[in-house]
Amino acid sequence: MAKEPKPVEMSGISYKPPLQEWMDVTTEIKEGMFCWGAKEPSLQKVGFPNARSWSPVEEDWKLPENWKDIVLEGIAERLEKYRSFKIFMDICVRCGACADKCHFFLGTGDPKNMPVLRAELLRSIYRRDFTKAGKILGRLAGARDLTYDVLKEWWYYFYQCSECRRCSVFCPYGIDTAEVTIIARELLNLLGLNIEWIAGPVANCFMKGNHLGLEPHTIHSSIDFLVDEIEEITDIRVEPTFNRKGAEILFVAPSGDLFADPGTFTCMGYLMLFHEIGIDYTWSTYASEGGNFGFFTSNEMAKRLNAKIYAEAKRLGVKWIIGGECGHMWRVLNQYMDTWNGPADFLEEPVSPITNTKFENAKATKMVHISEFTADLIHHNKLKLDPKRNDHLKVTFHDSCNTARGMGILDEPRYIINNVCNHFYEMPDNTIREKTFCCGSGSGLNASENMELRLRGGLPRANAVKYIKEKYGVNMLACICAIDRAALPPLMDYWVPGVNVTGVTELVGNALIMNGEGERTTDLRGEDLPGIEEKEDNEDV
């Protein structure tokens, strides 16, 4: 695999477009910028079409003979089904307001990463086959034929969009280019043109309930391991339960938190928080994934994977559900779950058993975000917190695209951080909240073979972190998304060495004063707490 260029080389980005018109520029599939193609067994397991062994770098992508008809019929079907798609195809005036808002364009300088042009890749085919002007005038009307090269261009560029929706914030028409990418990926899926980093987790999730393919006893042992870790740090043994019928609350986390650092520290935070407030909750080894990589393949697949959450809530007879820190998980839960697999009329409207707060916003889905839940606890003074335990950290907050733009969770994480940390600094205004910059690896692009793409796409975010690192000495980047927790550490190591990544609930776990705990000498990562060395030195004297 190609080694990435050095930061100084990679940041020398040319924004000069090629001299030819965009339709005449043939796509070159560059190493480091794409993910390996979806593998036969992964596609087979979920019954996706055209499961075969293929490689994006070979000429022949092994498509069915009638591939063109399949795509055009696919477009026709979706124009019927999704009014938004039809509108987004018709109304763009190509004003270019979105052009420089995309992190992938900013990081690559490739015009086909301008959201307007990315959508145009599909729109040009729509015009050719579905509009009168395009049928008659062809290229004059911005239309072109669907060819093998066009298909390869789609695959290359629609897997260079992380569906973050930053462009849509700036579009005067409100066109959501992420939805264009979503449709384009659905069309590509009709031909088995997926990437393995998405297809693998989807197959795992379908077969075993979570992206990593963790078996029930593996989940159990992983959480037991974290329970031991908590005991070593706090002297308190938390006792989580699994698949327990009759529990009041079902808790669903992204599986990355169970099995990959730094997500595991966030997971320790969940375990400690729930233990301390004493809620009656259970984990599930069946609904063992909050995330939904199916959402990056097709609406139907996302729905199939999502179904297990309500099914498990029903089977266990819980009253409502809390969900962990994950980005796209919440886009799916907040915007689709109720209509896909609801109504969840067997559940009750969520009410915090500790504060009696009714979570009105979760009335339909019956599922509450951990940050909303925690912020409410803090607001009602139900947690004993010692923010000094996070004094070794100078923290900033990265708004995860989906929770920020997809559901408006902007203030809760900040409220929590401000209560559990003494040193919090914001990145510049145009890089946070609704205008947050993507980690560069969202929508299933957090593989290793496309590292150059990820580092380029993450440059605007990293640049904002670098700015406040230099200004305030920030050394910790907090987030509420498992893809962020997987994607941001290599991004920071590359562009802003010295900044680590944490989930918000990990910071809560550090600050949380637990009833009967022993004196804490380290944080959840086993690092000495601030002032501990001095104290030990003094004791020696």
Partner 1 sequence: MSFELNGKTYATDEEGYLQNLDDWSKDVAEYIAGTEDVEMTENHWEIVNFLREYYQEYQIAPMIKILIKEMKKKFGPEKGNNKYLYELYPAGPAKQACKIAGLPKPTGCV
List residues near partner 1 by CB under 8 A: 1, 36, 39, 55, 196-197, 200-201, 204, 210-215, 217-218, 221-222, 225, 254-257, 259-261, 263-264, 291, 293, 326, 446, 449, 482-483, 485-486
E strands, 264-350, where? 281-283, 320-323
What is the nearest approach in angstroms of partner 1 to the Cβ of residue 484?
9
Asked if 439 and 529 touch (Cβ cutoff 8 Å), the reply is no
CA 230, 484, 328, 442 dihedral sign is: negative
Q: Cα 490 to chain center, whole Å?
A: 16
What is the nearest approach in angstroms of partner 1 to the Cβ of residue 210?
8
What is the nearest approach in angstroms of partner 1 to the Cβ of residue 218?
4
> CA torsion, points 223, 225, 231, 236, in degrees to nearest 10?
30
What is the nearest approach in angstroms of partner 1 to the Cβ of residue 204?
7
Q: How far is Cα 220 from Cα 40, in angstroms, rounded to an integer?
A: 30
Cβ closest to partner 1, residue 324 vs residue 350: 324
Q: How far is Cα 399 from Cα 402, in angstroms, rounded to an integer?
A: 8
What is the nearest approach in angstroms of partner 1 to the Cβ of residue 308?
16
Asked if 263 and 329 touch (Cβ cutoff 8 Å), the reply is no
Main-chain phi, psi angles of 383, to 5 degrees: -115, 140
CA distances (Å), 444 to each of 62, 344, 461, in order? Answer: 23, 28, 18
Cβ closest to partner 1, residue 258 vs residue 496: 258
What is the nearest approach in angstroms of partner 1 to the Cβ of residue 447?
8
What is the nearest approach in angstroms of partner 1 to the Cβ of residue 190?
23
Q: Which residues lie closer than 8 Å to 539 by C-beta, 6 or more apart?
A: none
Cβ closest to partner 1, residue 459 vs residue 486: 486
Cβ closest to partner 1, residue 221 vs residue 241: 221
The single-letter DSSP state of residue 283 is E
SS3 of 291, please? Answer: coil
Asked if 410 and 539 touch (Cβ cutoff 8 Å), the reply is no
Cβ closest to partner 1, residue 165 vs residue 211: 211
Main-chain phi, psi angles of 252, to 5 degrees: -125, 125
Q: At what angle do helices 177-189 and 148-158 cross, to 10 degrees?
A: 130
Half-sphere exposure of 25 (CA within 13 A, CB side): 15
Asked if 268 and 240 touch (Cβ cutoff 8 Å), the reply is no
Asked if 178 and 164 touch (Cβ cutoff 8 Å), the reply is yes
What count of other Cβ atoms lies within 10 Å of the Cβ of residue 52? Answer: 16
R_g of the chain computed on alpha carbons: 24
Cβ closest to partner 1, residue 120 vs residue 506: 506
The single-letter DSSP state of residue 56 is T
Cβ closest to partner 1, residue 427 vs residue 447: 447
What is the nearest approach in angstroms of partner 1 to the Cβ of residue 70?
26
Cβ closest to partner 1, residue 291 vs residue 323: 291
Q: How far is Cα 149 from Cα 81, in angstroms, rounded to an integer?
A: 27
Cβ closest to partner 1, residue 326 vs residue 385: 326
What is the nearest approach in angstroms of partner 1 to the Cβ of residue 144?
32
What is the nearest approach in angstroms of partner 1 to the Cβ of residue 59?
17
What is the nearest approach in angstroms of partner 1 to the Cβ of residue 44?
14
First-last CA distance in the chain: 55
Cβ closest to partner 1, residue 255 vs residue 436: 255
Cβ closest to partner 1, residue 79 vs residue 260: 260
